[in-house]
């Protein structure tokens, strides 16, 4: 589970973005039994996790989806924020989740990752994507969070 204090720092990044719609439609990938995404503005939060039992206990998300981010059919271009907070940490999972998150992202949206540079698979994935995807990846200094917003 991500540290709520670290997530709060990433929220400050999001709050500074006047283009982010309110209410923001958020997808938290790997939400489990609790949500790590606390946003101090109006949101509608959907959570996706492979574990039905964990989802059953999550009372912080409005829309509960049992499934894998990589295979579950979600609407493309719909989510203002896609938070890959506690999904798989291998390179293969991080890359597949990132590519899926980009397809799901609404114009002007933001992807947020956790566990950079803690897990080598996440680190390698984001370093690779930062050279391929347009615009800047932003590492929230002193944390394990990275955000990306397309130009």
pLDDT at residue 136, rounded to an integer:
84
Class for the domain spanning 4-148: alpha beta
Bond from prior residue into 26 cis (ω within 30 degrees of 0):
no
CB of 142 closer than 8 Å to CB of 111: no
Is the pLDDT at 2 greater than 70? The verdict is no
Is the pLDDT at 1 greater than 60? The verdict is no
Alpha carbon 119 to chain centroid, angstroms:
16
Digit-coded pLDDT (tens) for 13-28:
666 677 777 788 999 9
Name the helix (H) or strand (E) containing 142.
Answer: none
Average pLDDT over every residue of 54-72 = 93
Digit-coded pLDDT (tens) for 100-130:
999 999 998 999 998 888 899 999 999 999 9
Give the pLDDT band (50/70/90) at residue 65: very high
- Domain ranges in the chain? 4-148
């Amino acid at each position: 589970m991500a540290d709520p204090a670290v997530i709060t720092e990433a929220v400050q990044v999001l709050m500074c973005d006047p283009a982010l719609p309110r209410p923001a439609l958020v997808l938290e990938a790997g939400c489990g039994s609790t949500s790590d995404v606390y946003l101090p503005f109006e949101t509608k939060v959907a959570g996706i996790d492979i574990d039905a039992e964990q989802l059953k206990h999550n009372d912080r998300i409005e829309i509960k989806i049992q499934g894998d981010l990589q295979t579950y059919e979600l609407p493309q271009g719909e989510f203002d924020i896609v938070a890959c907070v506690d999904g798989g940490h291998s390179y293969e999972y991080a890359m597949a989740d990132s590519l899926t998150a980009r397809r799901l992202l609404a114009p002007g949206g933001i992807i947020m990752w956790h566990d950079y540079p803690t897990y080598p698979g996440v680190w390698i994935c984001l370093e690779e994507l930062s050279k391929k995807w347009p615009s800047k990846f932003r590492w929230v200094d002193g944390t394990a969070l990275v955000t990306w917003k397309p130009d």
